[in-house]
Structure 1
Amino acid sequence: MEKSFQTRVAVVSLALATAAAIIFALFNFLQEGHYQLPTDGVWWTEAHGGLEAQRVLKGSAGQRAGVKTGDLLVAANDTATPRWSVLVRQMWETKVYGTIHYTLIRNGVRLIDVPVILDTQDRSLNQGFRLIALVYLGIGLYVLFRRWTAPHATHFYLFCLASFVLYSFRYTGKLNEFDWIVYWSGIAAGALQPALFVHFALAFPEERRRWHKSLIGVTYFPGIIVVCLQVLALEAWSATEVLRHRLDQIAVGYTALFYVLAAVIFFVNYRHTNAPLRRQQLKWLTRGTVLAVAPFTLLSAIPFMADMSVPDALTKIAGLCLIFLPLTFSWAIIRYRLVDVDLIFKRGVTYTLATATLVGLYFALVAVAAELVHTRLPSAGPWGLLAAIIITAQLFDPLKKMIQDRVDRVFDRKRYDYRTTLIDFGRGLSSQTDLNALLNAIVDRLLKTLLVERVAVFLSERSGDYHLAAAHGLPKTLYGQEAVLDFGFLDFDQPDAGSHVFLENTQQTLYLTESERRSAALLDLNYYLPCRVQDRTIAVIGFGRTSGGDFLSSEDVELLESLASYIGIALQNALLYASLELKISEYERLKEFNENIVESINVGILAVDLKEQVESWNSQMEVLFALPRGEALRQPLSSVFSESLMEEYQRVRDDPGVHNLYKFRLETKTGESRTVNVAIAPLIARDFQIVGRIILIDDITDRTELEAQLSQAEKLSSIGLLAAGVAHEVNTPLAVISSYTQMLTKQVRGDDRLSPLLEKITQQTFRASEIVNGLLNFSRTGSTEFRETNVNAIIHDTLTLLEHQFKTAQVRVDIALAPELPPILGNAGKLQQVFLNLFLNAKDAMTGGGRLRIMTEANGHVGIAITDSGSGIAPEHLQKIYDPFFTTKTSPKEGQRRGTGLGLAVTYGIIQEHAGKIHVESEVGSGTTFYLEFPMLRKPAHV
């Protein structure tokens, strides 16, 4: 009883508050239309000695009168204006379109009698706010009347009512009692509305946290402070424009802050909620709040609080953007059942019409009864009329209940809300192409809509053969157990098959076979509906009983049969899409495999169409022609090939069969010459039609160079053998000459004329013998035996071999060999080859003569430095000089030898074999120094 009384008090209070708000808003609107506020269009603020013009609006009365920013107003109509309130009073006395006379001080000059014709204040924005107010009130009343017992419905209506007061109440400036009520109502609504909005944001999610409740009490405290400040300003503080402006800034900042806070709360709740319907509701609430709050905060609130100048058009747009908030709320209510309100339009219209019919019938009967009493029993007087009305009302009550029961029975039987949801869902299924996502969506939506305990979807592989694709409520042991389930009772492709199968008791299906009964009992589904497409069953959907243990109604089954066709089409589309994706994946894999083969072949491959445009260009062609694939494709072949190669292509392109060009000299765009083998063949399609040409280009430059170097090596080997034979042959006459010369020297001893000549002959003979022996040792293919070796001696022997070449090339040799250089463990023949290569390279680098310095030292190791004053090595070549076949002597100058690119490569290998190190330092134009290091033996060689 107490709760019922509280409910009645709440209903009556809300009704009275709503009626009062509507009446006051109407009178306020009418009064505003009959009372105009004067304005001069200047923003004045209190300053020393008067009011200072902070801003003069464009096209305003003040601008037309010549008022400028910075002017000081000291009097209006000969009345001193130390406060803005004095100026306002003078404007009210002057009235709109009257002339007020200002006394201004500008730059120290007093301007007397500046006439200003006052304009009326622009209140066009008020009508926009009143439109927003009506939208709020309409939404609030709709929610309250439809489901006023739903959670948060009353709270939501209070928010809408406060918003209506906030946006519709505009004090006119007349300042009578009614105007003061409007003024303070607007102040109270402005303090209450943002707090109610944040309160609603905190209380809306059902899964709200405990700390939400503690925040709700704090929500209203800032609004109380705002109201208290307004009261203090009016009762205790001096009424100045600065004070009014600061209070307005506080109110606007409070509103903007709470709006932003509500948007943040909506967004956080949206990110943390898992219920799909709740996420949709919060998504739209968040979007609408941001869409309304962002322009208001950025274009109006922040500039106003920061005293920034913003165009009036932007301010109006920012204010009107607030209408998006109620519009979004209304969309969320209608589309996503916000605050659990049942807003099916048809039901609302029917209830409204039924209620209107009852009310109209009631008043019609009352009027008829009153007329009959008045005409037939005039002597009854007022008491008889009152008795007739009471009797009619009592007789009408059963009729009203009968009509209401009929309407309720209609709505209990036709639950259009979830039916409409299912139909919309079925029509939108075709947009989903992922089979698993589609199956999950079907099961989830059917569960939530029909409130059944079990749902299963069986996909058809062939007639009468199904497999369980998705389900809810079935035992997990059934998944993947299609082999033990007999779906013979689901053969809907037979001519006499019905529209569905109904099993009243899944444990006792006597008309089924034993295996089919076992399957039906395991599945425990009471309804099976086929999803047909073009007279073929794509899938079967199974349903159990509702969560209350009831069967589905005939209307439910009829609706599901209609929905099944949509589901069948969607499943067929998803299956076809999955099949297409599989084929595309196989095609892409095969295409990628073939492309990988073409790209991996170390042969340039390109294909041209019949118009001789490049259609294919692999990576080897990119390397060979230094032309990226993107630049080569769709280009004419003549713009890619050189003239010589294009001539050969034109010569053989029309001939059948494969044509080969062996060791063709190809000039690339970089100016490099390459040796290639070219194969040109027709490109034939499946129908044996020629659709283009395929060209294979095999770069054999390195191979031909290697063949040439091997040939040169064979020549060098032959020359070595020849040199060994020559050395043996030359040694014999040299020995005879030396012997006879020594004999003659002994015979003519003491002869001052002949003895010196014979000694010179003997010295030159020994020198020739040393040269021949050095050549013999170098050409001898010695073993790789390592022994104690003197590096200085090897350097002397090598210089002896090259002494003539150095003189011819005008190369001066400076030797600084350490006298007691420790021996190393090495092979003398291979080390002599190292020094011979380095000395010859140094000679070739000094084409016009120069200086070669050779220095040895012992510093924990045996070090050799070979420095020339030649042309040096380019920086880009320093990292390549040890690579086999790399040489810069492809076109040797006069006096140089043609390089093979093997000298330094062999040298590097020999040094590594001796556990040594080699390092080069070079500067172009200044010379090159090679540093060699070898590990020394623990003990020096004994002499």
Structure 2
Amino acid sequence: MTEQAILLDEPPKAQKTKRTPFGRALVIAALALAVGINLLAPGLALSWARQPFLGTLLEHTLVVAGRPSADWASIEAGLDHPDRIIEIDGLPVANGSQLWKILRRYEADDVVSLKVESPKEGGGWQTRQVSLRLAKFPLQDLFTRFLIAYVIGLIYLALGIWVFIVKGHRTSGRSFAFFCACLAMLTGSYFDIISSHWLIRVWTAAMPLTAASAIHLGLVFPQERTFIGRRRILHYLPYILAAILAVWSELVLFDTANPRAYFEAWRWSFSYCGLGVVIFLSLLLWTRLRPKTAEIRQQARIILLGSIVAFAPFLIWVTVSSIIRLEFRFQAAIFFPPLVLFPLSIAYAIVRHRLLDVNLVLSQGLVYLVLTTLVVGSYFLILNVLGQVLHRTELASHPVILASFVLLLILFMEPLRRRTQYLVDRVFYKDRPNYRQRLEKFSRALTATLDLPRLLDMFLEQVGTLMHAERGIIYLFDPEINEYTPQRTWNIPHPDTLEAIRFRDRDSTIKWLKDSAKALYLTSS
């Protein structure tokens, strides 16, 4: 007798289709706004870059922005955040628009005199005169400060549009699309807030909304939280908090009485963004440890893999610069591009999450991430210790140290890799079923009975436990009617209704199962 078994997993709550025309319209509006901003941003950046450059980037109230490049004139002049320009060549200026109108009169290499408001010891502000030579804005800085973030935002936007087209009928698809739209607005207007300031209000509102959409995405995907289903108001709570922060920030953005009043509002918005990432990853880890179905476990692992690879460079930078306390300059070209993997992994998990052997990829990715961190950290730690002992600072290129370190890697890398692999598997896959033991136990049980219904029940129990299937049906071939009919069910509310669902040997589903010898996944879409 030929047998075929088909398991039907109930789609998780986060994947259910819901008719929400207002939600779809809101997401479409956000995506359209993000497209418009990203079309406008390059023109604004290039137009600003053609003007004479003061040697520093300025926020909208002419407060000096931080992180200048090493060759900018502002470093020699002593300009730093939170200094504020209040006059240029004796002409008062209060915002970027007034400043750029004056700068159009000058050319590169002209020298201008600035009156700057700086903090003084003991509190309060003092004014001082600063002379700067105007220059052309460096193309390299335009690349690192605008183009990288802009391209990353375009990728986020493209992923959001794609997921919305494919899965926009689901809560998870709409939530992810809105998250991508907000983040694309944030990255698209990032350079503008320290240059021409046309999109400053958009950036200010997009920052807390990005955090809110990340929290909401974590609440509904890969599985909707039980408390969310019972209290629908919790769906809107992150956005209510974001709206409060956005309104506060917008009100103090151009406060003429206190040009730095927006500092505190922005600080709270930054904190909310950090909290949003922490909540999202915490909910994801909780889902990974306690999934409702095997499908949800698979999706959580994909996103964890993308998150680990995306944030690994930042982790290494923080470890080297803050913990080991070595000079390691932040490089946007190195640290920003991996961030693309974060939304890419979420989009993949929503749309096509069954195409990867995620267990293997995640396990090996974690191992090599840990090894990379250990190797880099150990190398800098050795250099730091030797530098203090030998009272020398330039040891990184010393041939003896390099050769010794490479020799140590050759001797200990493979044992270290095996040990790390064992620890990673033990920590992250301690709940993985022992398939060999299950198979041996099931084989022994088969020899103890010849009753077909009992055998089928045992088979369904084993498959349901291993695959975390919520429901199951076994179809067997009936040679008398030449059809596959349901013989045993598991956790099906009304099994009698399945009698009408039968398969013939020539049906495309049966042919596909026979020819491919693979699992066929059925979804609600």
TM-score norm. by structure 2 comes to 0.55
Once the two structures are superposed, the pairs formed by residues 356-367 of structure 1 within 5 Å of their partners are: none
Q: Deviations over 1:249-277 (max 9, x none)?
A: 33322212211221111111221114111
Corresponding position of 1:130: 150
Of the three residues 50, 54, 61, the one matched with 2:73 is: 61
2:502 to 547, 550, 555: 550
Residue in structure 1 matched with residue 273 of structure 2 by the alignment:
255
Matched, 1:101 2:53: no
Identify the residue that residue 381 of structure 1 maps to in structure 2.
none
1:299-338 aligned within 5 A: 313-314=330-331, 317-336=334-353
1:207-356 equivalence runs, <5 A: 208-210=225-227, 213=231, 215-236=234-255, 238-240=257-259, 242-292=260-310, 313-314=330-331, 317-336=334-353
Give the superposition deviation at 1:232.
2.2
Match of 1:33 in 2: 46
2:302 touches 2:345 (CA, 8 Å); kept in 1?
A: yes
The separation in 1 between residues aligned to 2:194 and 2:57, in whole angstroms, is: 21
> Is the CA contact 1:62–1:116 (under 8 Å) kept in the aligned structure 2?
no
1:857-881 deviations in Å (ceiling 9; x for gaps): xxxxxxxxxxxxxxxxxxxxxxxxx
Q: Does 1:198 align with 2:215?
A: yes
Q: Mean alpha-carbon deviation: is it higher for 263-272 or for 51-60?
A: 51-60
Q: Residues 299 and 315 of structure 1 are in contact (CA less than 8 Å); yes or no, is this contact kept in structure 2?
A: no
- Quote the offset at 1:237 in angstroms: 5.1
Residue number among 180, 188, 196 corresponding to 1:168 in the alignment: 188
Instruction: Give yes or no for contact 2:109–2:134 (8 Å, CA) kept in 1.
Output: yes
Question: What is the identity, as a one-letter code, of the residue corresponding to 1:102?
Answer: S
Please list the CA deviations of residues 331-354 of structure 1 after superposition, one character each: whole Å capped at 9, or x if unmatched: 32454169xxxxxxxxxxxxxxxx
Task: Give the 3-state SS of the residue equivalent to 1:238 in structure 2.
Answer: coil
Tell me the CA shift for residue 60 of structure 1. Answer: 0.9
Measure how far apart 1:198 and its partner are. Answer: 0.5
- Given candidates 145, 155, 166, the residue that maps to 1:146 is 166
Structure 1 length-normalised TM = 0.33
Measure the CA separation in 2 of the matches of 1:160 and 1:20.
Answer: 12
Shift of 1:278: 0.5
Compared CA separation, residues 58 and 28, structure 1 to 2 (3 A)? closer
CA distance in 2, matches of 1:69, 1:15: 43
TM superposition shift of 1:553: 4.5
2:502 alignment partner, SS class: coil
Letter in 1 for 2:45: E
**SS of the counterpart of 2:330?**
helix
- CA separation of 1:314 and 1:256: change in aligned 2, threshold 3 A: farther
1:474 aligned to 444, 447, 453, which one? 453
Distance 1:471 1:67 in 2: 91
* Separation (CA, whole Å) in 1 of partners of 2:449 and 2:251: 68
Letter of the 2:177 partner, please give it: Y
Partner letter of residue 275 of structure 1?
A: T
Amino acid at match of 2:113: Y
1:530-549 aligned at under 5 Å gives the runs 549=501
What residue identity is the alignment partner of 1:228?
V
Distance 1:137 1:55 in 2: 27
In the alignment, the residues of structure 2 paired with residue 70 and residue 174 of structure 1 have an alpha-carbon distance, to the nearest angstrom, of 14
User: Residues 455-504 of structure 1, C-alpha deviation per residue, up to 9 Å, x if partnerless?
Assistant: xx989xxxxxx956999993269979xxxxxxxxxxxxxxxxxxxx9424
Deviations along 1:698-740, one digit per CA (max 9) or x if unpaired, are xxxxxxxxxxxxxxxxxxxxxxxxxxxxxxxxxxxxxxxxxxx
- Once the two structures are superposed, the pairs formed by residues 438-449 of structure 1 within 5 Å of their partners are none
- Quote the Cα distance in structure 2 between the aligned partners of 1:470 and 1:151: 47
For residue 253 of structure 2, what is the amino acid of its counterpart? Answer: L
Are 1:43 and 1:55, in contact at CA under 8 Å, matched by a contact in 2? no
Percent identity among equivalent residues? 17
CA contact (8 A) 1:32 1:172 kept: yes
Alpha carbons of 1:552 and 1:262: their partners in 2 closer, same or farther (altered >3 Å)?
farther
Match of 1:860 in 2: none
Please report how far the alpha carbon of residue 209 of structure 1 lies from its aligned counterpart in structure 2 after TM superposition. Answer: 1.8
Q: What code does the residue aligned with 1:263 have?
A: L
SS where residue 344 of structure 2 aligns? helix
Residue 324 (structure 1) shift? 2.0
Q: Structure 1 residues 216 and 33 mapped into 2: Cα distance closer, same or farther (>3 Å)?
A: same
Residues 165 and 185 in structure 1, CA contact (< 8 A), matched pair in contact too:
yes
Contact 2:150–2:187 (8 Å) recurs in 1:
yes
Quickly say closer, same or farther: Cα 1:14–1:132, change in 2 above 3 A: same
Is the alpha carbon distance of 1:556 and 1:103 closer, same or farther for their aligned partners in structure 2, counting shifts above 3 Å? Answer: closer
Kindly indicate whether the alpha-carbon contact (under 8 Å) linking 2:167 and 2:351 is maintained by their aligned counterparts in 1.
no
Contact 1:126 1:170 in 2 (8 A): yes
Give the whole-Å Cα distance in 1 for the aligned partners of 2:152 and 2:450: 48
2:349 corresponds to which letter in structure 1?
A
Cα gap change, 1:9 to 1:260, in 2 (>3 Å): closer
Whether the 8 Å CA contact 1:133–1:164 is kept in 2: the answer is yes
Higher mean C-alpha displacement, 274-283 vs 470-479: 470-479
Q: Which amino acid aligns with 2:157?
A: L
Give me the whole-angstrom Cα distance separating, in 1, the residues matched to 2:340 and 2:131.
Answer: 42
Native 8 Å contact 1:546 1:552 kept in 2: no
| Residues 599-623 of structure 1: CA deviation (Å, up to 9, x unaligned) | xxxxxxxxxxxxxxxxxxxxxxxxx
Counterpart residue type for residue 27 of structure 1? L
- Partner letter of residue 210 of structure 2? Q
Q: 1:120 aligns to what SS in structure 2?
A: coil
Q: Are the structure 2 counterparts of residues 195 and 77 from structure 1 closer, same or farther at C-alpha, using a change threshold of 3 Å? A: closer
* Rounded Cα–Cα distance in structure 1 between residues aligned with 2:451 and 2:311: 43
Residue 97 of structure 1: how far off its partner (Å): 2.4
Map 1:694-705 → 2, pairs under 5 A: none
Matched, 1:117 2:96: no
1:54, 1:561 → 2: CA distance? Answer: 64
**What is the match of residue 735 of structure 1?**
none
Distance 1:93 1:471, change over 3 A: farther
Secondary structure in 2 aligned to 1:114? strand
Q: How does 1:409-448 map to 2 (within 5 A)?
A: 435-437=436-438
Secondary structure in structure 2 of the residue aligned to 1:228: helix
Gaps of 5+ in 2: 1-18, 121-126, 356-432, 460-475, 489-496, 520-525
Alignment partner of 1:336: what SS? coil
What's the CA shift for 1:233? 1.5
One-letter code aligned to 1:326 = P
2:429 matched to which residue of 1? none
Letter of the structure 2 residue corresponding to residue 132 of structure 1:
I
Amino acid corresponding to residue 35 of structure 2 in structure 1:
I
Which residue identity does 1:126 align to in structure 2? F
Using a 3 Å threshold, how does the CA distance of structure 1 residues 59 and 296 change in structure 2: closer, same or farther? same
1:89–1:283: structure 2 CA closer, same or farther, 3 Å change rule?
Answer: same
Pick closer, same or farther for the CA change 1:309–1:185 going to 2, 3 Å: farther
Task: Evaluate the alpha carbon distance shift between residue 298 and residue 44 of structure 1 in structure 2; reply closer, same or farther with a 3 A threshold.
Answer: farther
Within the candidate set 478, 482, 499, 1:503 is matched to 478
> Which string of whole-angstrom CA distances, capped at 9 and with x for unpartnered residues, describes residues 734-790 of structure 1?
xxxxxxxxxxxxxxxxxxxxxxxxxxxxxxxxxxxxxxxxxxxxxxxxxxxxxxxxx
Relative to its length, the structure with more helix (as a share) is 2
Instruction: Tell me the C-alpha RMSD between the 2 structures.
Output: 5.5
- Gaps of at least 5 residues in structure 1 are 1-5, 339-431, 441-456, 460-465, 481-500, 509-520, 526-544, 568-943
C-alpha separation between the residues in 2 aligned to 1:92 and 1:221?
A: 41
Provide the rounded CA distance (Å) in 2 between the counterparts of 1:62 and 1:332: 46
Residue 67 to residue 9, structure 1, CA distance change in 2 (3 Å): closer
Q: Aligned pair in 2 of structure 1 residues 94, 309: CA closer, same or farther (>3 Å)?
A: farther
CA contact (8 A) 1:102 1:113 kept: yes
SS at match of 2:225: coil
1:764 is matched with: none
